[in-house]
Chains A and B, each alone.
Chain A
Amino acid sequence: MEELIQAFSLLFTPGSELSQIVLLTLKMSAFSTAISTAIGVPLGVCVGLYRFRGKRLVMRILNTLMGLPPVLAGLIVFFILSRSGPLGTLKLLYTLPAMVTAQVVLITPIVCGLSATAISGVAPLVHETAHGMGLTRRRELACLLYECRSQLLSIMFVAFGRSIGEVGAVMLVGGNVQYKTRVMTTAIMLETNMGHFEYAVALGIVLLVISFIINSIALSLQERTSAPEAQGAWSASRGGKLGGGR
């Protein structure tokens, strides 16, 4: 309990190492999510929408990559950014961009696969409808994205959750350097290795609370975009005829 109080009081102390770690973690996860969404969603839409030769193979590869072990993603990026690797001269290893890169490698297939599935679920219906109405392809795509908006939003938060809780890849390419690349998960690993088990659990709880808050925000955002107004439509349709209802 002491450790938990200590952890939370440190969290709200500006300039403390823990608050710096939390900020870095959020920054990393935000970048990873934004970039993998920017790449993954359009790719996923293409895969989900178009029929092409080898689509089944692409889906199979995507599904495999969705289970890509984080350490492997980290290793690949490590070899690329290493001194002896092809991009070694950029000196990016053990920096935030390196961690974001590894996470993008890890998360993009997940975003891509999930959006492909979400899109392909409604795409045939939307296509048939749009075709019957004589909509242009562009307008059809806009309608399709609109129909999938809440699923796409939750995919983004799946990506964020994966990013914030991931340890293997960021440990490898970030190096867990104090003040530079130490994030919540690698800090937890370090405290565990140092035998500070209780403080490690306290840090884990801090991480969970942060995730919880972010997910709550996401959920309320999602509710605002779909549910309440749908309910409005419901009461309008029934209320008009039954004379009030509830």
Chain B
Amino acid sequence: MRKTPVKILLVTVLAAMFALFLVACSSGSGSSAASSEAASSEAASSEAASSEAASSEAASSEAASSEAASSEAAAPQNAVLRISTTTSVNDSGLLPYLQPFFEEDTGYQMEVTSAGTGAAIEKGRTGDADALLVHAKASEEEFVNEGFGVERVPFMYNYFVIVGPEGDPAGVANCATAADAFKAIADAGQTFVSRGDDSGTNKKELQIWEAAGIDPNGQEWYVNAGQGMGATLTQTAERQGYTLSDKGTFLSNDAKESLKILLGESDDMKNTYTMIAISPDKWPDTNIDGANAFIAWMTGDKASELIAKYGEEEYGEPLFYLIEK
């Protein structure tokens, strides 16, 4: 008699968990449509608020310079633009740096979320973003081919760097290519910390291992950290090992105090950043106008100038280079 309630409880809880799981699974189709709907209505209300603010501002400054009013772009229909990007872009501070210029010029409000490349692209698939700014060619092509993205717009690049301890016990600094460097690390049995999170950097790293003809998985010296670039760099510094990083994140991370760039700018370490507008065919609610405005602005002269300058002041060199048009 005592056991029956326990059984009922068990069944109830399992059923509840099952229901929860079904809800989670269906988010790929039905429920996220609802959520994007909610997001768009939210956007509409905030747009109303902003246009109201703009009009009252215009009224008060009517007598003042008309120049200010004209430089303020007319508020677009759907003012909220959701950009999903990778941690490396966000951690480098590029988007926060560009954001006020973009918003002033176009009247859009940028909402940036950052995650590993895998998750960043997945947000495009689930309709939770209007534009992507990522760096993983194969995944991007797959994404566009599936019809989720309009087209890939590569617009800037930088180089991955191999960072390691000052002493460089594996002799990476003397290598010509990244593949050679990885081989040297493996031969010396030096600790290599991998992001292991399916990010663009992680994918690049795995390509280089493949090019070097080495399978690092399960090796004692190969540490699969399963974390973002920042945390991976911290772990590399603590372990005094090697890792592959994008330059921007490394230069802005405290790890640079006990690690140094040992190899950079070799051809097999080029890192190209691409923008993709989410196709309205898959997600009708997506802010395609905003996405197009973002891509146009980012590839325009003003943004090019800003990007080319970014990082020079702080690190003595630009963090990103523009692809020549």
Contact = CB atoms under 8 A, between A and B. Distances in A.
Is any CB of A less than 8 Å from a CB of B in the complex? yes
Interface of A: 1, 3-4, 82-83, 93-94, 171-172, 175-180, 182, 186-187, 190, 192-198, 201-202, 205, 208-209, 212, 216, 220, 223, 228
B21 A202 contact: yes
A27 B228 CA distance: 26
Given A177-B224, A195-B198, A94 B21 contact: no
Main secondary structure of the interface of B (DSSP, over half): helix
Given A209-B14, A216-B10, 8 more contacts: A94-B238, A186-B226, A193-B199, A194-B197, A196-B122, A198-B24, A198-B28, A201-B25
B127 to A, nearest CB: 13
B226 A182 contact: yes
A93 B234 CA distance: 11
- 4 nearest CB pairs, A to B: A195-B122, A178-B224, A195-B118, A195-B119
A218 B241 CA distance: 44
Nearest to A85: B238
Nearest to B120: A195
Contacts of A176: 225-227
A166 B243 CA distance: 28
Contacts, number: 96
Interface in B98-129: 115-116, 118-123, 126
Contacts of B2: 223, 228
Nearest to B20: A205
B118 to A, nearest CB: 4
A1 B17 CA distance: 12
A3 B25 CA distance: 9
A196 to B, nearest CB: 7
Contacts of A194: 116, 118-119, 197-199
Contacts of B224: 177-179
B239 interface: yes
A79 to B, nearest CB: 11
B122 A205 contact: no
Nearest to A202: B21
A4 B23 CA distance: 13
B266 interface: no
Nearest to A220: B6
B152 to A, nearest CB: 18
